[in-house]
Amino acid sequence: MPNKENSAPHNIARRELLKRVGAVGAVGAVAVVPATELTKPAQAQASTAATPLREALETLTATEADMLEAIVARIVPADANGPGAAEARAAHYIDRALTGPLASSKAAYVSGLAATDTYAQASKGASFIKLNARDQDAVLTDMEKNTAAGFRPNAAAFFNMVRDHTMQGMFSDPYYGGNANFIGWDLIGYPGIRMVVSVDDQSMSKPPKVLRKSAYDEAMFSKRGGNHGH
């Protein structure tokens, strides 16, 4: 487990997130989800995961994107279990989706990100992105508990929206811009989509063969709008 400095607020910690994903299945709101089981010790994955390159922004400003990157990195931080939301490009998924299926949430993001920074400066004396991990977690915890002021309609509503979209970016099909390098699927040990389930798969007598591919690599799926996953 990470130390207190690097841990996320209590009910957005990685352990709780994995429990929630296990309860509902690894399916994002706008995606079909596959994955692969861990093939290396989690500690090694966490230490060797490369920070992804930043793609061109599609919706948010550079300042807003930096704020969102910092927030998602604390909602699902990289730790001994492996890479987190930053490495999975969850913020990139959100930025892209705000021009498409999440377009109705754009105004809420613009307002909420600004309010988060204002509250961070008022409560901790610095911009959110300049705070250490502990103070960032404290700000997010206040938002989660709805004690942070200055949000419309309230801090908890914004926090919950960002957390939900971060989980989509972690676990949805990489076609949609998140789950880079199948990080989310690796984290939960999802072996991949199956067009046909074999007898061995059904018996579960041994781990299923890992299929590292997007659902949209299958000919039966249409790549509407271009391949966003690679």
Cα–Cα–Cα angle for 78, 83, 89, nearest 5°?
Answer: 105
Q: List the end-to-end C-alpha distance of the chain, in Å, as a whole number.
A: 32
Residue 7 has pLDDT above 60, yes or no: no
Task: Assess if residue 138 is contained within a domain.
Answer: yes
The runs of H, that is alpha helices, within the chain are 14-24, 42-48, 62-75, 90-97, 106-124, 133-144, 155-171, 183-188, 199-203
- Sequence-ordered list of residues with C-beta below 8 angstroms from that of 115, at least 6 positions apart, any chain: 148, 150, 151, 152, 155, 158
Q: Output the pLDDT for position 70.
A: 97
Q: Output the pLDDT for position 18.
A: 56
Residue 6 or residue 148, greater confidence: 148
102 — pLDDT class (breaks 50, 70, 90): very high
What is the tally of structural domains in the chain?
A: 1
Residue 107 has pLDDT above 90, yes or no: yes
Nearest CA among 3, 23, 7 for reference residue 141: 7
Predicted confidence (pLDDT) per residue in 28-72, tens digit: 333 333 333 323 333 444 444 444 455 678 899 999 999 999 999
Q: Output the pLDDT for position 31.
A: 38
Residue 89 or residue 51, greater confidence: 89
Asked if 176 contacts 113 with a C-beta cutoff of 8 angstroms, the reply is no
211 — pLDDT class (breaks 50, 70, 90): confident
CA distance 149 to 139: 11
Task: Assess if residue 227 is contained within a domain.
Answer: no
Q: Output the pLDDT for position 164.
A: 97
Asked if 97 contacts 60 with a C-beta cutoff of 8 angstroms, the reply is no
Kindly report the pTM of this predicted structure: 0.72
Give the domain range for residue 123. 4-217
- The number of beta carbons lying within 10 Å of the beta carbon of residue 207 is 10
Q: Output the pLDDT for position 158.
A: 98
Predicted confidence (pLDDT) per residue in 153-210, tens digit: 999 999 999 999 999 999 998 988 999 898 988 888 887 777 777 787 777 777 777 7
Q: Output the pLDDT for position 227.
A: 41
Task: Assess if residue 225 is contained within a domain.
Answer: no
Residue 113 has pLDDT above 70, yes or no: yes
- Sequence-ordered list of residues with C-beta below 8 angstroms from that of 32, at least 6 positions apart, any chain: 172, 173, 193, 215, 221
